[in-house]
Chains A and B, each alone.
Chain A
Amino acid sequence: MFQKEVLNVRGLSAGYGPMRVIHDLDLIVHSGERLGIVGLNGHGKSTLFSAIAGLTGWQRGSIKLNGIEIGRTRSQGPGRYTHQIVRAGLSLIPQGDEIFHGLTVEEHLDSGAYTQQAWRERAQRKERILEIFPPLKALLKIPVGRLSGGERRMVAIGRGLMADASLFFVDEPSLGLAPKIGKSVMDALMSLKLSASAMVIAEQNVSVLEGRVDRILGMHAGRLKGEAAASLAFHTSYQRI
């Protein structure tokens, strides 16, 4: 049963300079929900995440995270409010990892535990991440700059999961990974207990998400297109309700 709205986006437009990438977009995500967003390269999946995190060049429209308005109309200062939005409960796991080369794996996980609550519990939280990604156990003291692509992705996702967030954005978790590793990363994301929080996963490939998430939306030219897959995933989600 879906309870409350974690994210409520109304009429969001966003872009960079003269370019408008997101067009009057509406989106609602409920707690306990796993939502997939599918779309081709360059259709605005990453920009949607960036816009909600306040990282695009400009934006307008309403974004409510747990009922708190984080949207505002903004014409400059990308990233200026991002840390406040993150503290309000958004955890962004970006495409291309965005790691800190010189920090060790352990320091990365620490840096993800940003809120006061998460920082106090960071030892337990690290344990939990290491259960999800066992290969990281042996690498805790190694600088992330020396890890392989798959290991880095695990670190980036682990860092995102350390947060005390109510909404997780995962941008193309399997991009650039060998299919087998990509699948294990996906399995790890699926095995995570969401309870009151929600997770949105962006992917290019429907087959990766089909049957594993509660709902799939298609993203095309900066607009969300209803329930893209009126398929298995769709039905299972409604059976669950």
Chain B
Amino acid sequence: MDALFIISNAIVLASIYGTLAIGISITWSSLGLVNLAYGFVFAFAGYGAWLVAQHISQWGPVVLGAGIASGSLAGIIICALAFIPIHDKPNFTIRGLIATLAINLLGTQSLLWWFGPRSKSLPEIFGTWKITLPGMVLTADKVGNVATSVLMLFFVLRWMQASRRGLEIRAMMMNPHAASIVGIGVRRTAFYVMAITGGLAGLAAVLLSQTYYIGPYGGLTPMIKGVSIALCGGLGSVRGAVIAAILLGLNEALTSAFFGGQYVLITQFLFIIAILLVRPRGIAGILDRAREA
């Protein structure tokens, strides 16, 4: 257990959880929806990728693409079921929470019923090569995980900066009321948001399956971690989520190295509570220099 090994593990975890957390963060701030069905999206995408790997192709990019596509599909389904019918009704936040939680439970049960309790494993999409550096060995899945998630996040954020749809989404994240005044349709934008965040969850699912297995309940822990990272980073802030993901990834790697994996959630929540005590708005509270309304 040397320092470099811990750091490389931390970076891998940070990139995967960061991907999830940014998805949750974007959904919350643009739609006002805490998407508790994210665990289902995650598992659904895993099974989608598994089916493609079984029946169509074992080639890495195809499996990865299948995961992203089925994640987007699951996101769109959730949007149609849990957002569109209730988003303009009173108490939407609580209703949305319950609706997505219900979808999560129903969805994971259906997956269990359809695919059975035995977990599946995906092919090693990045191959089995290694890079040996002085002091550490970088395996293909580590390098691949970090490179893919950083690339994907880069493209998503770039798209949100540069495109018209991205401008719509960002406008809705900052002020949904004003967004409707300038003619941005909430429901149509919601489909874009859910498809993109679903795609991010799908990507994370395939990447995490390089270390763990795919099971119907496989999405639960990543979702809890994603939600808590998003919370810690300050819901709605992409930069905050990235920083929180790095800190919590480091925390997870250190905890599993020194105490053991079963203590990870304990130290993680202690850490999050400590941050929220100092900065109730999360890490974004430190970053944000704009004046309040």
B181 A99 Cβ-Cβ under 8 A: no
A101 touches B174 (CB 8 A): yes
Q: Is the CB of B183 within 8 A of A79?
A: no
Tell me if B170 and A159 are in contact (CB < 8 A): no
Q: Are B181 and A94 in contact (CB under 8 A)?
A: yes
Using known A-B contacts A114-B182, A143-B290, determine if residue A79 contacts B177 with beta carbons closer than 8 Å: yes
Does B278 make an interface contact (CB < 8 A)?
Answer: no
What residues of chain A lie closer than 8 Å to B183, measured between beta carbons?
82-83, 86-87, 114-115, 163
**Interface residues of B toward A: which range?**
20 to 34
B167 to nearest A CB, angstroms? 6
B186 proximity list for chain A (CB < 8 A): 79-80, 83
Contacts of A101 in B (CB 8 A): 174-175, 290-291, 293
Q: In the assembled complex, which residues on chain B have CB atoms less than 8 Å from the CB atom of A2? A: none
- Please name the residue on chain B nearest to A92 by beta carbon: B181
Chain B binder among A37-45, A103-111, A220-228: A103-111
CA A111 to CA B167, docked complex, whole Å: 7
Contact indicator B290/A102 (Cβ below 8 Å): yes
B110 CB to closest chain A CB, in angstroms? 31
> What's the minimum C-beta distance from B90 to chain A, rounded to whole angstroms?
8
What residue in chain B is nearest A79 (Cβ atoms)? Answer: B180
The reply on B88 being an interface residue by CB < 8 A is yes
Flag B163-189 by CB within 8 Å of A: 1 or 0 each: 010011011001101111111111000
Q: Is B89 an interface residue (CB 8 A)?
A: yes
B289 at the interface (CB under 8 A from A): yes
Q: B180, B181, B182 — which one has the most chain A CB atoms within 10 A of its CB?
A: B181
Closest 5 CB pairs of A and B: A145-B290, A114-B183, A86-B183, A98-B178, A100-B174
Interface residues of A (CB under 8 A from B): 53, 55, 76-80, 82-84, 86-87, 92, 94, 98-103, 107, 110-112, 114-115, 119, 143, 145-146, 159, 163
Extra 10 A-B pairs, beta carbons < 8 Å, given A82-B183, A145-B290: A55-B180, A77-B88, A83-B184, A101-B174, A102-B170, A103-B167, A111-B167, A112-B182, A114-B183, A145-B291
20 inter-chain pairs at a CB distance below 8 angstroms, sorted by A residue, are: A53-B181, A77-B88, A78-B88, A79-B177, A83-B184, A83-B186, A94-B181, A98-B177, A99-B175, A99-B178, A100-B170, A101-B175, A102-B170, A102-B290, A107-B167, A110-B164, A111-B168, A114-B182, A146-B290, A163-B183
